[in-house]
């Protein structure tokens, strides 16, 4: 199955190149496949995108956030604070970022320009002025963050920060482009 998906993605997955990452054609779900020798037996994971954006207010209704926490987040959006969402794999970081993006669009100027940078398309926004950028074989997130500076962003959103792009993102946010959102893998906010 992994090799079939590799063919659909116009690449190969074998003992020399045992890791396959990508988006499933037609569905857009995130696919990660691994073959021996890095694992004993072939293994894969499919992560399906959420079909709807959960509004921030629903987090309050479901008692995931307190009303005070939601107000702090709204203040952060209005005052263009940078927001870092942390959590483990599958903890809901992307779903929560979609809620924040929804608030940014609802509370912001209609003409604000959002730059959304991702490895795999997962974030959803209804912004009218959005430039969605994706990594490619020779274009990593670090390069995308540097390139987006010339595209007149009002806010820079990075789906997941996990490498050298963190420094470039901090520089971008600190040089006239505040109000961004990104996520990191961490057990808690302090981590």
Q: In Å, how far are 4, 6, 74, 87, 94 from 183, measured between CA atoms?
A: 31, 28, 18, 8, 8
Q: What is the pLDDT of residue 93?
A: 93
Which residue, among 97, 68, 56, has the nearest Cα to 181 in the 3D structure? Answer: 97
Q: Which two tokens stand for residue 137?
A: 């074989």
Confidence bin at 163 (pLDDT 50/70/90): confident
pLDDT at 34 > cutoff 90: yes
- Cα torsion 31, 35, 37, 39 to 10°: value is 70
pLDDT tens readout for residues 61-99: 999 999 999 999 999 999 999 999 999 988 999 999 999
Query: What is the C-alpha separation between 159 and 2, in angstroms, rounded?
Result: 25
Q: What is d(CA 134, CA 23) in angstroms, rounded to the nearest whole number?
A: 12
pLDDT of 70 reads 98
How many CB atoms are closer than 10 A to CB 152? Answer: 11
Determine if the pTM surpasses 0.95.
Answer: no
pLDDT at 28: 73
pLDDT at 125: 92
């Amino acid at each position: 199955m992994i090799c079939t998906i590799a063919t659909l993605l116009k690449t190969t997955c074998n003992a020399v190149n045992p890791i396959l990452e990508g988006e499933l054609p037609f569905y857009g779900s995130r696919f990660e496949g691994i073959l021996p020798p890095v694992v004993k037996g072939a293994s894969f994971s499919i992560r399906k995108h959420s079909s709807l954006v959960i509004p921030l207010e629903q987090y309050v209704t479901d008692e995931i956030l307190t009303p005070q926490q939601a107000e702090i987040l709204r203040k952060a959006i209005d005052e263009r604070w940078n927001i870092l969402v942390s959590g483990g794999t599958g903890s809901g970081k992307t779903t929560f970022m979609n809620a924040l993006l929804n608030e940014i669009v609802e509370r912001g100027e209609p003409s604000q320009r959002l730059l959304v940078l991702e490895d795999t398309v997962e974030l959803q926004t209804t912004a009218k002025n959005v430039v969605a950028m994706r990594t490619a074989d020779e274009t990593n997130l670090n390069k995308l963050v540097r390139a987006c500076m010339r595209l007149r962003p009002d806010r820079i959103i990075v789906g997941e920060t996990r490498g050298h792009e963190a420094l470039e993102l901090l520089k971008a946010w600190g040089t006239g482009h505040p109000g961004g959102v990104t996520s990191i893998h961490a057990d808690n906010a302090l981590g």
